[in-house]
Amino acid sequence: MTLKLKQTKIKMTEEEFWAILHTVSESKPISYRLYYNADGSPIIYSMEDLLDNYIEVDQKTYVLAPFNVRVVNGKLTYIKPVVTVKKIQPGTVGTACDPRDVCVVVSTDQLHTKWTIANNEIS
């Protein structure tokens, strides 16, 4: 079974065309925005016009939506992530543990080694 559609040509004058075109509302230009707090930390990425502090960002930044950024003097600044490594180390203060097994916590009256957690930042 085949279906045949009838093509209809619509004829209009130039004045009718322009009259229809003028009734169509103009589209807004696309703007990608990062809304941020007073300290410069990001709140939300949006294309909407919200009532808050914002800066315009490019499409790539908008799509990635990074939150390791701050707004400083109206410019987007990336914050280098801080990596913290926790490591236990023996010392004079800390938790008393069996000298043969750090997993076994003992009384300070027994033979022991004291262990503490050291936080080391890697940049």
44-83: per-residue pLDDT in tens?
999 998 988 999 999 999 999 999 999 999 999 999 878 8
Residue 62 lies in a domain: yes
Residue 6 lies in a domain: no
pTM of the model: 0.52
Based on the fold, state whether residues 100 and 71 are members of the same structural domain: no
Q: How many domains would you assign to the chain?
A: 2
Residue 99 lies in a domain: yes
Residue 59 lies in a domain: yes
Based on the fold, state whether residues 68 and 39 are members of the same structural domain: yes
Residue 50 lies in a domain: yes
Which domain range does residue 52 map to? 32-78
Who wins on pLDDT, 99 or 25?
Answer: 99
State the first-to-last Cα distance of the chain, in angstroms, to the nearest integer: 72
Q: Per-residue pLDDT averaged across 84-106, rounded?
A: 92
Find out whether 96 and 106 touch, Cβ atoms under 8 Å: yes
Task: Count Cβ atoms below 10 Å from residue 54 Cβ, excluding itself.
Answer: 19
Q: Which residues contact 103 (CB under 8 A, 6 or more apart)?
A: 97
Cα–Cα distance measured from residue 116 to residue 24, given in angstroms and rounded to the nearest whole number? 71
**89: Cα within 13 Å, side-chain hemisphere:** 8
List, in sequence order, the alpha helices (H) in 1-123. 14-23, 59-64
Residue 12 lies in a domain: no
Cα–Cα distance measured from residue 52 to residue 54, given in angstroms and rounded to the nearest whole number? 6
Based on the fold, state whether residues 39 and 68 are members of the same structural domain: yes
Quick check: 2 pLDDT over 70?
A: no
Residue 16 lies in a domain: no
Whole-number Cα distances in Å, 113 to 19, 78, 94, 119: 90, 43, 9, 19
